[in-house]
Structure 1
Amino acid sequence: MTSHQTTQTMKPATAAKKLGVYLEATPADFQEGVVSRGELNALQTDPPQWLTDLRRDGPHPRPVVAAKLGVSIAGLARGGVTDALTTEQIDALSQELPSWLRRERATQAEVRKEAARIKEKNAEKIAERAGQARRPRS
């Protein structure tokens, strides 16, 4: 019995997400085909010019826009940003620093601070339990 190894493929939307690019801005042949795991790896290790340009100039998908602005995706929506933005538009927003962006950045900073506090608290509990497990019982 011989085993046939099938090539793993993914939809263009999945590949675009893994590449961190906005699907609608990719070339038509990328949008209309399927992408194999090997092709995705090749795109990541040796990106063609269109991919390099998209990553540099955009338009960028919302997760990338949110990361570049230092806010959450939900924060973008609360700020009224629902479409993909170019690097130029993101830079302009960073320069303008509208009130919603300042507010969302502050919210994001609080979320990160709380996550760090919880992580530290959990690490202390784990260390405490490990210390109790080593002590002989009387």
Structure 2
Amino acid sequence: MTRQRSTQTMKPATAAKKLGVLLDATPADFRDGVVSRDELDALQADPPQWLRTLRAEGPHPRPVVADRLGVSISGLARAGITDPLTTEQIAAIKAEEPEWLARERATRAETQRAEARLRSVRGPESSA
């Protein structure tokens, strides 16, 4: 006797986070339903046009903005950037090269170097 496997579902906010897009910018049918693990896998494997457009143009959630600028999410907050940004706005910040951006990039780089040193001291078995 085989048990029927239940379908794993997630809230739209969780799916949007996994897809790296802003929930409020997704289509209504995505926001109003639930997303199964299979549907999420399909969206990642073959993204529809709306998802490709959101990933390319935004608006982007803070983790994506921070990553594209090369800073931490905390660094964005220290700079007063709390709203989602479009790809165009991110490019404008990069082109402007404000002082806070250089400072936050340096902070992030130093943090990553310190984390790498700790990993090398602790060894591979402690990184989980």
Q: Tell me how far 1:9 sits from its aligned partner.
A: 0.6
Correspondence for 1:23:
23
Give 3-state SS (helix, strand or coil) of 2:71's partner: coil
Q: Larger Cα Rg: Structure 1 or Structure 2?
A: 1
Tell me the distance in 2 between the aligned counterparts of 1:62 and 1:84.
Answer: 6
Tell me the distance in 2 between the aligned counterparts of 1:15 and 1:123.
Answer: 34
Tell me the distance in 2 between the aligned counterparts of 1:60 and 1:35.
Answer: 20
Tell me the distance in 1 between the aligned counterparts of 2:55 and 2:23.
Answer: 12
Question: Superposed, which structure 2 residues align to 1:36-115 within 5 Å?
Answer: 36-115=36-115
Q: Tell me how far 1:31 sits from its aligned partner.
A: 0.4
Q: What is the root-mean-square deviation of aligned Cα atoms in Å?
A: 1.6
Correspondence for 2:8:
8
**Which runs of no fewer than 5 residues in structure 2 stay unpaired?**
none
Equivalent residue pairs, number:
125
Give 3-state SS (helix, strand or coil) of 1:24's partner: helix
**Which runs of no fewer than 5 residues in structure 1 stay unpaired?**
127-138
Q: Tell me how far 1:2 sits from its aligned partner.
A: 5.2
- Amino acid across the alignment from 2:99: S
Tell me the distance in 2 between the aligned counterparts of 1:43 and 1:118.
Answer: 37
Give 3-state SS (helix, strand or coil) of 2:123's partner: helix
- Structure 1 length as normaliser, TM-score? 0.86
- Amino acid across the alignment from 1:16: A
- Amino acid across the alignment from 1:30: F
Q: Tell me how far 1:30 sits from its aligned partner.
A: 0.3
- Structure 2 length as normaliser, TM-score? 0.92
Structure 1 segments of 4 or more deviating over 3 A? none
Q: Tell me how far 1:97 sits from its aligned partner.
A: 1.2
Tell me the distance in 2 between the aligned counterparts of 1:80 and 1:27.
Answer: 28
Q: Tell me how far 1:119 sits from its aligned partner.
A: 1.8
